[in-house]
Amino acid sequence: MTEKWKSNPMFWCDYCKVWMQDNPSAKATHERGMKHKENVAKKLRQMRQKADSDKKEAVLADKTMSSIEAAAKKQYEKDLAAAKAVASSHGEWVLDEGSGHYYNAAQRYYFSRETGMYYGGDPPAWTLQPEMPPEALFKAQPKAEPASTSGQAAKTTAAKILLKTMKAAHPLAGIGGYQMPKTGRIGGSKGVGVAAAGTQAAGAKRKREEDAAKAAKQKGLSEEERKALAAREAARARVQQRTMSNFGLAD
């Protein structure tokens, strides 16, 4: 007698890695067994541990990230502060009312807006290439322009005239030599001021002639040019007066 072969359905327990008969009673028996219970508990333990370590890793990665970010931020702030320090070490250009020039105390240079030249260095001289870092150079500040359309042209002309007139000389270049002041505490006490009447008269005459020549020269100039020259002359006079005062050469 032959029996027809028939495969029994089987069930795979993933905890215990074993096959068993796929029927309720066989499965129930297996699940009640000590071995299966231990395997299930072990699997749960492993899953919990993995979750914990995953979490720990995530926290660590987070911490690492924020510490990198914090370090980057700190470095950025440091760079910013350093840049600021460098900028401030270049000094500020402050308008000197006496001379009409801008002065940078950190660089020890004057700057003339009219000519775009710097005065300073050792020995001091007017120059277009002062010895200072490019960042420290005078930067044009926005200034209210005259309303007239010819304002810019007039300014340019005035600047040219001024360049010609001042011959790039130091504002105090006129002090000394035969122009030594004859008045003031020092000039007076040395008797320099007690000059012969004739000499004084000659000096006054020369002064009158110079003024006349100056006036004639200015006749050919436009209103703006004359104004610019007058402002320049007034500034020069103020500087000279102040310096003479400082040296005790003026009343």
Q: Which residues bind Zn ion (CB under 5 A)?
A: 13, 15-16, 36
**Smallest separation (angstroms) from Zn ion to the CB of 33:** 7
User: Distance between CA 136 and CA 152 in Å, rounded?
Assistant: 26
**Smallest separation (angstroms) from Zn ion to the CB of 31:** 7
Positive or negative, the CA dihedral 197, 203, 206, 208 is negative
**Smallest separation (angstroms) from Zn ion to the CB of 23:** 15
Q: Which of 163, 175, 181 is nearest to 232 (CA)?
A: 163
Question: What is the longest distance spanned by two Cα atoms in the chain?
Answer: 166
**Smallest separation (angstroms) from Zn ion to the CB of 12:** 9
Q: Pick between residue 41 and residue 71 the one whose CB is nearest to Zn ion.
A: 41
Q: Pick between residue 15 and residue 247 the one whose CB is nearest to Zn ion.
A: 15
Residue indicated by tokens 């040219």 = 160
User: Distance between CA 31 and CA 37 in Å, rounded?
Assistant: 7
User: Distance between CA 48 and CA 181 in Å, rounded?
Assistant: 99
**Smallest separation (angstroms) from Zn ion to the CB of 72:** 53
Q: What is the 3-state secondary structure (H, E, C) of 41-56?
A: HHHHHHHHHHHHHHHH
Q: Pick between residue 40 and residue 186 the one whose CB is nearest to Zn ion.
A: 40
Q: Pick between residue 16 and residue 162 the one whose CB is nearest to Zn ion.
A: 16
